[in-house]
Each structure stands twice: as structure tokens, then as C-alpha cells.
Amino acid sequence: MPGPSFWQRLWAGLDARLALRNFVYEVPPYANTLPYLLGAITLMGLVILVATGILLGQFYIPDPAAANASVRTIMTQGYGGAVARGIHVYAAHFTLVVLLLHLGRVYVTGAYRFPREANWIGGVALLATVLAFFFTGTVMRWDQGAIEALEHNLAFAQLLGVFGGWFSPAFSTHVPLLARLYMAHVSLLPLVLFILIVGHVYLVRQHGFSPHWSRPAATQPPYTFAHHLRRAVGFGCIMLGVALALAVVRSPGEGPAPVPGIEVTKPPWVFLPAYALETWFGVPSLLWGTAAAFAWLVAVPFLDRSTAPGWSGRRRALAVGAAALIVVIGLGVFAWVSHPVAHLH
């Protein structure tokens, strides 16, 4: 009788030291369907962003006098800078889309209800963190759109009053705000993201995958988390491949070095609803619009206390969610088709 193979011995050795068997726990089969994989695919996108971000960080200069030129250097000189930047940009868009779809799936299936309220709130915090990544990444480009985003950052700091100190240049007068936002982009936000993801994954492990809205789990053959992870890696490979192809075929551009004091651009797509609010109700709507949206998201599990497993018992929550989605998309479309307007100057 042959003894264990090399791989079996390797696994046994690693498992004895790292307790890898804990990752081979059973998950229901629907956990391997696309709607239930969106969270894991978001994680894969974040891994791509961290890897390409580390590469870009070696060549980016977070100094207002040199940032735009350093982006151009990344785009035009060796080490595959243009490709790395392209993957970073496209993967950021894809990751945000997948994250929003994940949020939508959790909302539609009511997976935020007892006992998963804390994990929903953690997920909302993750969304805020990823949006902060997206915002600070926009400023890193240091072109006209970037400085207009930065000026909105300053306006936001003023709106926050005494709580806006960190966002203000007065917080550290000898360090440019661009450098501090870069620090946030590459160290503060990754730390927050890591802590939130660890907590999020821990709670998923503790509570298990949320029940399917129609299929009873007991009637399905079980799979393991390793299978779930493998499929997520597969989707991550597809995301990386598509981002790479787009980076090669349609490399993201870079605008002229910025000049302060005018507003002639519009923000990236995810901020367009806030831009529309700002156009209609002025700069303070940046604060109350954002605060209202996140307050509603945090309150969702406490407003919807239904226990029905399917959709029929949650008509009110689904109607509210659909209405919120229509409002957000409507605001975004309005901002997208409208001409850029000055909000600050």
C-alpha cells in the first residue's frame, strides 16, 4: 500500500501548524452562485488594487508641484507603469460595481436581518471606506478633476465645522493636503479596510451564509468554503484579465496640471448623485445627502424587523429599496447629462 503523496504530506504538515482545516467548513450550494459570491469577488478586486497600488506607489510623488508629472512618468516610462495604472483604475471601477451589487443582493434577500445586523453595519462601513478610497484615488491623479474634488474636500471640512479639522489644510499647515490624502489612500484607509474585512469575514464565519430566499438549504448537497474561495478566485482572474485588456486597449488618460478656482469637470460616476444634489440644493447637501443615505443604510436592519423568509413578507422594505435606487439612479443620470456647473466659485 503506497504511503501518502507529497501533496498530502505537505497539506498535513501545513494543517498541523496553521489549522487550515478551519477553512474547509461546509457552505450551502447556493453560496457558490454568482449573487452569493459578490462579496468574495469584491475581496479579489481589493487584492488586485493593493498589488497594483503598491507598484504605483513606487513611482508616484504626492507633492502638488510634481504629482501630475509623476503620473505622466508612470504612464510613459518602463516597468509597465501604464498597464499597472490601467489595471488599478479599471479594477477600482469593477470592484465598486461588484460591491454595490453585493449590497443590493444582501438588501433584496433581507440578509441584514437578525442575527446579521452587525455585519450589515460593518458592510456599510466597508462601502464608506471603499468610497473614500475612490475619492482619494481621484485626487491622486492631480489634474483638473482632482483639484475640484480636493476643493470639495475643503468645502466638506467647513461643513463639518469642528469635526472637519482633519480634512482641512489648517490641520497641518506645512504638509500639503494632497500628501495627507495620499497617506490616507495608502496607509490609513487600508488599515481601516483590513480591520473591517476581518470583522466582516469573522461574522460571516460565525453566522454562516445567509439563508437563500427560496431554496431550503437542507435539500442541497453541501460544499466547502474552499470551493467558494476557488470560484471567487476564478472571478478575480476574469476581473484581472478584463482590466488588463482594457488597460492595453484603452489606457486611462491624464489631464493637464490643475489650476484652482474654477469648476469645469464632473466627478466620477459614483459621486454623480451627490453632484446632482449639490447642483439643486447647494454645497450643504453634500453633507446632509451623504449623511441621510448612510443613516438610512445603517438603520435598514432596525426598520425592517420582518422574519418572513421569502420576498412576500418584505414588500414594504423592497418598495423602499426600489424607490431609493430609482432616486439615486435618477440623480446620477441627471448629473451625467447636465452641463458642469460651479458649486464653490
Our CB check for other proteins shows the closer of 201 and 242 to be: 242
> What's the min distance (Å) between Cβ of 113 and other proteins?
13
Position 262 contacts other proteins (CB under 8 A) = yes
Q: Looking only at residues 77 through 106 of this chain, which bind other proteins when binding is defined by CB under 8 A? A: 82-83
| Residues shown for the chain | 345
Piece of the chain touching other proteins by CB under 8 A; list 12-20, 21-29, 212-220, 284-292: 284-292
Sequential DSSP letters for 279-293: HHH-THHHHHHHHHH
Q: Looking only at residues 133 through 192 of this chain, which bind other proteins when binding is defined by CB under 8 A? A: 144, 158-163
Tell me the CB-side half-sphere exposure of residue 124, using CA atoms within 13 A: 18
Q: Which of 10, 288, 329, 333 binds other proteins (CB under 8 A)?
A: 288
Kindly report the number of other CB atoms within 10 A of residue 307's CB atom.
9
Position 330 contacts other proteins (CB under 8 A) = no
Cell 507633492 maps to which residue? 63
Cell 430566499 maps to which residue? 213
Q: Grid coordinates representing 230?
A: 476557488
Our CB check for other proteins shows the closer of 9 and 72 to be: 72
The residues that bridge with 26 in the sheet, in sequence order, are: 224
> What's the min distance (Å) between Cβ of 2 and other proteins?
26
C-alpha separations of 273 from 117, 321, 326 in Å: 27, 16, 11
Our CB check for other proteins shows the closer of 191 and 295 to be: 295
Residue 331 contacts residue 277 (beta carbons within 8 Å): yes
Position 24 contacts other proteins (CB under 8 A) = no
Position 70 contacts other proteins (CB under 8 A) = no
Q: Which of 12, 14, 175, 291 binds other proteins (CB under 8 A)?
A: 291
Task: Report d(CA 103, CA 124) in Å as an integer.
Answer: 8
What is the 8-class DSSP label of residue 187?
A: I
In the shown chain, the binding pattern of residues 217 to 256 toward other proteins, with x for contact by CB under 8 A and - for none, equals -------------xx-xxxxxxxxxx-xx-xxxxx-xxxx
Task: Report d(CA 208, CA 23) in Å as an integer.
Answer: 12
Both ends of the chain: CA-CA distance in Å?
Answer: 82
For other proteins (CB under 8 A), the number of binding residues is 63
Our CB check for other proteins shows the closer of 9 and 315 to be: 315
Ordered alpha helix ranges (H), 64-116: 67-76, 81-108
The residues that bridge with 223 in the sheet, in sequence order, are: 27
Piece of the chain touching other proteins by CB under 8 A; list 23-31, 65-73, 183-191, 215-223: 65-73
Q: What residues line the site for other proteins (CB under 8 A)?
A: 68-69, 71-72, 75-76, 82-83, 144, 158-163, 230-231, 233-242, 244-245, 247-251, 253-265, 283-284, 287-288, 291-292, 295, 299, 302-303, 305, 339-340, 342, 344-345
